[in-house]
Amino acid sequence: MLLKKTILFLLMSVMFFSSSQVEAKQQTKDKNVTVKNGTVKIVRDDYGVPHIYAKSTDDLYRAYGYVTAKDRLFQLVMFRRSNEGNVSAIFGNKYLEHDMRMRRDGYSDKEVKNMISQMDPFSQKVIKNYAKGITKYIKEANQEPNRLLSKEFHKYDIKPKSWTGVDVLRLYMASMTVFMDQEQELKNAATLANLNQQHGADKAKEIFNDIFPKNNPASPTSIMSDEETGQKQQYGNGKVRQISEAAIEAADQITDRRKEFEKTSHELGVPLKVGSNALIVGSEKSESGNAMVFGGPQVGLTAPGFMYEVGLHGPGIDIEGSSFIGYPFIMFGATNKFGFSSTAGYGNQVDIFKETLNPNNPHQYQYKGEWVDMKKRVEEFQVRDENGDIKEVEKVFYETVHGPVIYLDEEKQVAYSKSWSFRGTEGQSWSAYLQTNWAHNLNQFKKAARNFTMSLNWFYADKQGNIGYFHVGQYPKRDQRLDFRLPTPGTGQYEWDGFKDTANNPSEINPDVGFVANWNNKPSPNWQNAELSFNWGADHRVQQYIDQAKKADKLNLQEINDINYHASLVNLRTKWFKPYLLDTLEENIDKNPELKEVYQYLKNWNNLNEDLNDDDYYDSPATTIFEAWWSNVPANLLKDDLGKSYGDLKGTIDHRYGCSLCLRVFRGDEAQNAVQYDWLNGESREQIIMESLHQALNELEKDYNGNMDDWLTEVRTTTFGAQSLIGAPHGLGSDIPIPVMNRGSENHYVELTKKGPEGFNITPPGQVGFISKDGSVHQHYNDQIKMYANWEFKPILFTRQDVINNTESTHYLQFPKKN
């Protein structure tokens, strides 16, 4: 497969550059044109990516807004409506719950304007000019709607309106802010209350601590140095009563609402379950001596895609890369000095407060010894019914000093409210990202990182060979008497005492190991994420990158791609659990010779779900056997003890990052943080393994009824925007099937040579999301899907000459010389 991928890449590169020579001749006149003030040159390459050349930053960002609108206007409109809580006016009652939540937790236009007014002057100019560019295209499109408005506008009878900076910042909050949100503390409280009912307080505490450890020292970290970095975090001693049985009903209702919100948000194209991986390599670990950066933002597969690629070239800036749609800055890319990427940080930035209500007035809560009136706000929603008529719906929202009330039972006198540590600073974070694009060195990038208030991991590599890692975000100083995994009493006794200094967040420059890897794992040994602690354990998917990077003596971009290929197709449970299975099989083969064939298949398997012979089945029966075995392990290990709670907790225990609780139980006393509860109940690890295997083999024999050679699993496939085909309003999707891969929605590989950045990327499904009124798609709507499926890439065009050599079209935008 490595040879195949390498040949594909080399052939593609040769064809790419040789065929473009003819196109370059056709563009000879264009490359000598002088770009004047007010005129912007936009060059589209072979994949429709716009490379924008302007003489002023005002014109540059206006043009950026214009081309984004031209390619993805319907996406922009839907994301703006999503943040406004104004979707059900078009798509009906199904989206009313989504709209209500966005209005409840969101901001008024006045509040958004105030955030913009607090931005630095340059950020204000950028956000204003980007909005002007979008508006310029909207005006043109409304004059020629049949030609310039994509099919969705006609299908849903929507006429786009002009944009302002408020809309641009809303679009940022429609995605970045929402996927930073969670209500896990309340779910944890309900879990503990349920366990108390089942097992009593002592056993319940042991079980809860095993599932949600305060800290797991065995968890792999991105910072692997012996020295601790960042401030020492405390975990809270939990001496305050923070749970009650009222949490059970509240959590059930909020969980149901959250599921509905996530479903409708997905249909709107807003990714809530995000991931992302990254690997930066310093000069000592690099084959060429040049620093390198790889990134794979995991934000779902939709058509149009959530990523937008662009090249920006103007006074003081030359940058190329991708960003979430509608962001006027680049999140994943490179300037001529450095490359950068990011991943979700999953830090503890949200707290749920349990409010004590006045028995005589459920709209008053106790705060610092007094009954305080909740703030009341009435919102009106327009909801389209099945006949197309619009009805008005009123909803009353309440707010405490902590934030919006997310649950209120007036009869039972129960209420919960929510606080975000980055609340009101979204504009500051927006500006910080913009600052990274204009940074010139590591120190300036680092300064921008410290101004970003939301939880991400930022990665940096420059042409001097330096690499840097920064866990960014603003975190509150919490009361140490609390258990941070559970809701906080809202009486005023346990308030945040300001915020920690972001300069003390985990960070590392030029680590001795020569690289930094991250796949949403723990940043450093001393860092915790409280209620989300189940995500950070010994069994974590980032180990795939760490193991392979450590194993390699030196790395180049192709080898980094091989590492990503392996991590994308590997069965994650094989890292720790396959050796246990093989050891147990070895011990039992003499007793049961029929297990020898199972053992050989598993031993010879490379742990990857590959289809190298293109027969639409994974190549090894080991895939089928191992998956069937593992499907039984968590239940056999945990279900009896968890009882009715097992169903709700299964996804928390055995999740997409790993099953660290299972590994700790298997390791027993050898685990760095041994479990407190006796999960095995007198059984041995080997008994659980064999019981699970026999169950699997019995089922497989029934299903296949034949030779084990034929126990092959059909290749699992997906599509871009599969749910969009069921009427999702963010776009119309694509029905081209591709193999399921645990991979970034986009991949970028950049080497920072002394001459500047070089590299390759893939940004499926395609650059342009425009579908004509008659249903015909743009040539660059889905032209990168098959490349993505086949692990093919396109060169990233950093230099003007690269762009000239690969020009597909050139056009000019004219802007007034004065605003």
Are the C-beta atoms of 205 and 212 separated by less than 8 Å?
Answer: no
Instruction: Quote the percentage of the chain above a pLDDT of 90.
Output: 79
Return the pLDDT at 270: 63
Return the pLDDT at 175: 82
Return the pLDDT at 258: 65
Check pLDDT > 80 for residue 277: yes
Instruction: Examine the residue annotation and report whether 734 is marked as an active-site residue of this protein.
Output: no
Could you report the per-residue pLDDT of 104-137, keeping only the tens digit for each? 999 999 999 999 999 999 999 999 999 999 999 9
3-state helix, strand, coil in the chain (%, to 5): 40, 20, 40
Are the C-beta atoms of 637 and 662 separated by less than 8 Å?
Answer: yes
pLDDT tier at 269 (50, 70, 90 boundaries)?
low
pLDDT tier at 252 (50, 70, 90 boundaries)?
confident
Of 6, 1, 564, which is closest to residue 295 (Cα–Cα)?
564
Q: How far apart are CA 180 and CA 462, in angstroms?
A: 29
Structure tokens at 507: 């960070």
Check pLDDT > 90 for residue 26: no
Close Cβ partners of 324 (under 8 Å, ≥ 6 residues apart): 175, 176, 299, 306, 307, 308, 331
Beta bridge partners of 312: 52, 319
Return the pLDDT at 268: 67
Q: How far apart are CA 624 and CA 630, in angstroms?
A: 10
Q: How far apart are CA 433 and CA 450, in angstroms?
A: 11
Instruction: Quote the percentage of the chain above a pLDDT of 70.
Output: 90
Beta bridge partners of 608: 570
Q: Which SS3 state, helix, strand or coil, does residue 697 take?
A: helix
Are the C-beta atoms of 341 and 293 separated by less than 8 Å?
Answer: yes
Model pTM? 0.93
Judging by beta carbons within 10 Å of its beta carbon (0-12, 13-18, 19+), is residue 390 exposed, middle or buried?
A: exposed
Work out the number of other CB atoms within 10 angstroms of the CB of residue 118: 14
Residue type, 325: I
Beta bridge partners of 314: 317
Check pLDDT > 80 for residue 242: no
Asked, as a colleague might, if the bond just before 765 is cis with ω within 30 of 0, I would say yes
Q: Which of 255-264, 481-490, 513-522, 663-672 has the lowest mean pLDDT?
A: 255-264
Judging by beta carbons within 10 Å of its beta carbon (0-12, 13-18, 19+), is residue 3 exposed, middle or buried?
A: exposed
**What's the start-to-end Cα distance of the chain, in Å?**
55
Residue type, 298: Q
Return the pLDDT at 806: 97
Return the pLDDT at 123: 98
Number of H helices, E strands in the chain: 25, 26
Are the C-beta atoms of 282 and 467 separated by less than 8 Å?
Answer: yes
pLDDT tier at 37 (50, 70, 90 boundaries)?
low
pLDDT tier at 461 (50, 70, 90 boundaries)?
very high
Average pLDDT, the chain: 90
CA 578 to chain centre: 28
- β 515-518/277-281 pair status: antiparallel
Judging by beta carbons within 10 Å of its beta carbon (0-12, 13-18, 19+), is residue 763 exposed, middle or buried?
A: buried
- Which position has the higher pLDDT, 22 or 522? 522
Return the pLDDT at 4: 42
- Which position has the higher pLDDT, 229 or 430? 430
- For 54, phi then psi, to 5°, come to -140, 155
Return the pLDDT at 671: 94
Are the C-beta atoms of 524 and 222 separated by less than 8 Å?
Answer: yes
Check pLDDT > 80 for residue 3: no
pLDDT tier at 179 (50, 70, 90 boundaries)?
confident
Strand residues in 186-267 grouped as ranges (E): none
- Which position has the higher pLDDT, 741 or 387? 741
Return the pLDDT at 240: 67
Name the H helices within 413-542: 426-438, 442-451
Check pLDDT > 80 for residue 778: yes
Q: How far apart are CA 172 and CA 427, in angstroms?
A: 9
Region 310-338 average pLDDT: 97
Return the pLDDT at 249: 75
Could you report the per-residue pLDDT of 332-354, keeping only the tens digit for each? 999 999 999 999 999 999 999 99
Return the pLDDT at 38: 77
Among all chains, which residue has been given the structure tokens 């890319």?
333
- β 350-358/488-489 pair status: parallel
* Active-site pick, 20, 150, 175, 276: 276
Q: How far apart are CA 333 and CA 319, in angstroms?
A: 7
Q: How far apart are CA 442 and CA 507, in angstroms?
A: 13
Work out the number of other CB atoms within 10 angstroms of the CB of residue 649: 21
Name the H helices within 408-494: 426-438, 442-451
Q: Which SS3 state, helix, strand or coil, does residue 371 take?
A: strand
Homologous superfamily (CATH) for 572-607+610-715: Aminohydrolase, alpha-helical knob region (1.10.1400.10)
Asked, as a colleague might, if the bond just before 593 is cis with ω within 30 of 0, I would say no
Q: Please count the residues of the chain.
A: 819
Are the C-beta atoms of 576 and 664 separated by less than 8 Å?
Answer: no
pLDDT tier at 748 (50, 70, 90 boundaries)?
very high
Among all chains, which residue has been given the structure tokens 């925007």?
721
- For 677, phi then psi, to 5°, come to -95, 150
pLDDT tier at 25 (50, 70, 90 boundaries)?
very low
- For 45, phi then psi, to 5°, come to -90, -170
Strand residues in 385-466 grouped as ranges (E): 390-400, 403-409, 414-420, 456-462
In what helix (H) or strand (E) does residue 662 lie, and over which residues does it extend? helix 660-667
Structure tokens at 668: 């027993």
Return the pLDDT at 261: 62
Return the pLDDT at 527: 92
Region 159-167 average pLDDT: 97
pLDDT tier at 16 (50, 70, 90 boundaries)?
very low
Could you report the per-residue pLDDT of 524-540, keeping only the tens digit for each? 998 999 999 999 999 99
Q: How far apart are CA 747 and CA 52, in angstroms?
A: 22
Q: Which SS3 state, helix, strand or coil, does residue 774 take?
A: coil
Return the pLDDT at 27: 37
Check pLDDT > 80 for residue 44: yes
pLDDT tier at 492 (50, 70, 90 boundaries)?
very high
Judging by beta carbons within 10 Å of its beta carbon (0-12, 13-18, 19+), is residue 743 exposed, middle or buried?
A: buried
pLDDT tier at 817 (50, 70, 90 boundaries)?
confident
Of 737, 743, 761, which is closest to residue 751 (Cα–Cα)?
761
Return the pLDDT at 726: 33
Check pLDDT > 70 for residue 101: yes
Q: Is 226 left (phi over 0), alpha (psi -120 to 50) or beta?
A: alpha
Return the pLDDT at 721: 77
Check pLDDT > 80 for residue 271: no
Return the pLDDT at 241: 73
